[in-house]
Structure 1
Amino acid sequence: MANLLGAKLSFPGMKPYFINPVNKEKVHIIVDACHMIKLVRNTLGDWGILCDGNGDSIKWYYFKELVKLQEESGLHCATRLRSRHINYYKEKMKVKLAVQTFSASVGDALEYCNQDLNITKLEVVKQLFLSVEKLTIFLTF
């Protein structure tokens, strides 16, 4: 939709505005951070994998295995991540579940359980968590 209006929301050449044809002023596009976090969670959950600009990937498998590991051991690694977060389909609209899925505590748990979960590109996972954390900080203002 943004492209149809003359804006471009991707790199390179990002242009987060379009020109109003009536008064020739810039109209800036501001995305809804809550919606973006849910879109990332839904896309990762549905596709099972996301790749960054470098071709490195993050897998939904990591989250599923962390929940499985927590349930089997009876310990929850100081996270709120439960099977409800993994099977989010009936609660897709709940921002809280999406934000908790990408919380710093889940990132720390994934890092701690790295050997058991066999995460090969832990740095990519950390970058995703940092990006979501920045979005949640933005949401609080």
Structure 2
Amino acid sequence: MKCLLGGKRYGQVKAMKGLSDMGLGSDDSSQMATQAYVFMLVTIKDSWKLPLAYFFIDSIKADMKANLIKIALEKCNKIGVQIRTVTFDGCKSNIATMKNLGCELDDLQNLKTDLKHPSAEYNVVVCLDACHMLKLMRNTFESKKVIHTTGEKSIRWQYLSELYNLQEENCLHLANKLSHRHVHFKNQIMNVKLATQLLSRSVAKAIDFCNKTLNIPAFRESENTIEFIEKLNDLFDILIARSLDDYGFKHPMNKANSQKILSLLSQMNSCGVGLRRW
């Protein structure tokens, strides 16, 4: 993952400045660092996480990222830590890095989502971060306004805008959290909560209510958009499932719910392969 150098403290911005450092013992770099490339160790069965390594960079190529990942896997294995998954956001350089490690994430028909551990006898699964991918989906939806799926079904951003306008004009909310920040999110584009609350089942149900119960003309033919938002909501719940106390799609997969979850994953896979913006 990446994070900017700097932050806020006591109301003032405190900037950190320094040269790029890849930890190779050389201090003759003249390139000013603008980011920190960070490895974070996160446990599967517990609730702690630990910074594993960080490198001050201005930019970093995919082959260098791949080498650093291999080193991290080897060092963890050496002290008895088993790394089962590598999770990252969806930027192009990360996809290229995974290709260098033997994965294939560009060809949706021939996905290869694991890599050979460099010093252990098992494969490591690679996983795009669900929160970041939902934000990218929201950003694409807002930018293109209309997305088409298999079967010429159209998904339209206008229904989200119409719902926001309706609620603002009437000073009410149809059991959802939709606000100006959710529809006009560019100043808070990294805020995950805004994306999850926008592409949520409560928003889908509100659009459906406006269409079928209130019979508002602006919401006619919104069925495909409603279905898509609901499925995105359920898919996100599956991908972040963690606690055994949760219910529905938020409950981790087991024998009782596996068929239902696998069915939705299959539907979303078919839908995702067919998405286009024209």
Percent of paired sites with the same residue: 32
Quick one: distance in 2 between partners of 1:12 and 1:121? 29
Match of 1:134 in 2: 235
Distance 1:13 1:121 in 2: 33
Q: Which one has the bigger strand percentage?
A: 2
Is 1:39 the counterpart of 2:140 in the alignment?
no
Instruction: Go from structure 1 to structure 2 and tell me whether the alpha carbon gap of 1:19 and 1:52 turns closer, same or farther (over 3 Å shift).
Output: farther
Amino acid at match of 1:132: N
Q: Distance in 2 between matches of 1:4 and 1:119?
A: 47
1:123 aligns with 2:236: no
3-state SS in 1 of match to 2:162? helix
C-alpha RMSD of the superposition: 2.4
1:60-139 equivalences in 2 (<5 Å): 60-114=157-211, 115-116=215-216, 117-139=218-240
Count of aligned positions? 141
Q: TM-score, normalised by structure 2?
A: 0.45
**2:160·2:183 contact (CA, 8 Å) conserved in 1?**
yes
Structure 2 unaligned residues grouped into runs of 5+ = 1-94, 243-278
Checking the alignment, whether the CA contact within 8 Å between 2:204 and 2:229 is kept in structure 1 is no
How much has 1:5 moved relative to structure 2? 4.6
Give the letter aligned to residue 97 of structure 1: L
Distance in 2, matches of 1:138 and 1:75, equals 32
Shift of 1:22: 7.8
Mean CA deviation greater in 15-24 or 92-101: 15-24
Distance 2:190 2:147 in 1: 21
User: Per chain length, whose mean CA-contact separation is higher, i.e. which structure has more relative contact order (CA < 8 Å, sep 6+)?
Assistant: 1
TM-score (norm 1): 0.83
Contact residue 56 and residue 121 of structure 1 kept, 8 A: no
Change (3 A) 1:51 1:23: farther
Structure with bigger gyration radius: 2
2:267 is aligned to none
Stretch of structure 1 that moved more, 8-17 or 60-69: 8-17
